[in-house]
Amino acid sequence: MISSTNFGRRLLSALAAVATLAGLIAAGPAAAQDYPTKPIKLIIPYPPGGATDVIGRIVALKMSEALGQQVVVDNRSGATGSIGAAAAATSAPDGYTLLLGALTSHSINAALQPKLSFDLAKDFVPIGVVGQVPLVFVVTNSLPVKTLPELLAYVKAKPGVSYASSGNGSPQHMAGELFKSMTKVDMLHVPYKGSGPAMTDLIGGQVQTMIETMPAALPHIKSGALRPLAIAMPSRSANLPDVPTAAEAGLPDFIVTSMFGLLAPAKTPPALVAKLTAALEKVLAQKDTQDRMAAQGVITGYLNPVDSAKRIRAEIDKWTKVAKDANIKLE
């Protein structure tokens, strides 16, 4: 004889199974046709003011227009993007929580922190790569240098010059350590919780230099608050045509860019991924989107989910090798 307690438990289990099955059925083509029926949350794993935030807000605005539902930005910063990424990875795979991933940062985290609470390659499904941005050497105006060779001479004469980053293991940190390794100089790394706070202190002179992403640095360069020295990419930027590349300034092979992409939690139904992918591809093909991105120093370049997954794997492998070769470790 089955007790009322056991019967109740079995009934609840059965109802839960039915609800799960119903959810799976609802996530099929019919649900995808109606999707989205409510606002979508876009987690940006950095505070306002940095490159990820700038790019994320453009994507949110244009995706809102393409999908007919508001895409709401949710800044969740900390641990070099890992806190926000972990929150997105553990969200319901229903298409209503997405991540604007700083793919280079997350790949570096994967290379340097094997015990992360999430796996970039396994816990997410790519919607698509959005684009990439170059990094630029900038210094506070109080520092008496105007070129990269002058900065190098100054640092050699005065060991311990500080450089800021958006956090331990960030592209800015890796770029700074790579610069130290290539030039054999002694500099003090000062990590921040995002590019915004780092920029504030750099402008104020609390730190002296930074290798920052173009979207975060460009407004301050244009306003005269910071002085650019060189760009870490093979060719000059249309946004800063008078600023030389690192190679032109005497540092060949110093190329560092940061890649960004839109991700959904793993197990998001393929039909929803397909709808989001189509919307993202459409958005990135629009001249208005490209102009907005270009104005911030972003080089747009859409990649589909399959190619995005391959690029993410390549980024993880690349930064694992860089960290090992340059003996770069988290502090």
- 163 — alpha (psi -120 to 50), left (phi > 0) or beta? beta
pLDDT for res 329 = 66
Is it the case that residue 1 has pLDDT exceeding 60? no
Q: Which CATH architecture has domain 134-231?
A: 3-Layer(aba) Sandwich (3.40)
314 and 261 Cβ atoms separated by less than 8 Å: no
Residue 116's Cβ-side half-sphere holds a number of Cα atoms within 13 Å equal to: 26
pLDDT for res 164 = 97
Share of the chain above pLDDT 90, in %: 60
For residue 102, the cross-strand partners are: 260
Is it the case that residue 16 has pLDDT exceeding 70? no
264 burial via Cβ count (<10 Å: 0-12, 13-18, 19+)? buried
pLDDT for res 193 = 84
Q: Where in the chain is the domain with CATH 3.40.190.10?
A: 134-231
Is it the case that residue 161 has pLDDT exceeding 80? yes
Average confidence score pLDDT of the chain: 88
pLDDT, tens digit (0-9, with 9 covering 90-100), for 282-293: 999 999 999 999
Is it the case that residue 167 has pLDDT exceeding 90? no
Q: Where in the chain is the domain with CATH 3.40.190.150?
A: 9-132+259-325
Higher pLDDT, 210 or 81: 210
Q: In a 3-state reduction of DSSP, which class is residue 12?
A: helix
Is it the case that residue 15 has pLDDT exceeding 80? no
Is it the case that residue 9 has pLDDT exceeding 60? no
pLDDT, tens digit (0-9, with 9 covering 90-100), for 207-238: 999 999 888 899 999 999 999 999 999 899 98
* Rounded mean pLDDT, 147-153: 97
Is it the case that residue 145 has pLDDT exceeding 50? yes
Is it the case that residue 130 has pLDDT exceeding 80? yes
pLDDT for res 21 = 41
Q: Determine the CATH number of domain 9-132+259-325.
A: 3.40.190.150
pLDDT for res 4 = 45
68 and 225 Cβ atoms separated by less than 8 Å: no
Reading the block at residue 246, the tokens are 């690192």
Q: What are the CA-CA distances from residue 36 to residues 93, 101, 167, 269, 273 (Å)?
A: 13, 21, 35, 13, 12
pLDDT for res 115 = 81
Phi, then psi, of 185 in degrees rounded to 5 = -110, 165
Q: What are the CA-CA distances from residue 262 to residues 62, 102, 229 (Å)?
A: 13, 9, 31
End-to-end alpha carbon distance in the chain: 63
pLDDT, tens digit (0-9, with 9 covering 90-100), for 105-121: 888 888 888 788 899 88
pLDDT for res 229 = 98
Pairing of strands 97-102, 257-265: antiparallel
Q: Is the pTM of this model over 0.85?
A: no
pLDDT for res 181 = 85
pLDDT, tens digit (0-9, with 9 covering 90-100), for 21-42: 445 444 455 567 899 999 999 9
Helix (H) or strand (E) holding 311: helix 305-325
Return d(Cα 327, Cα 331) in angstroms, integer: 12
Residue 279 Cα to chain centre, angstroms: 20
201 burial via Cβ count (<10 Å: 0-12, 13-18, 19+)? middle
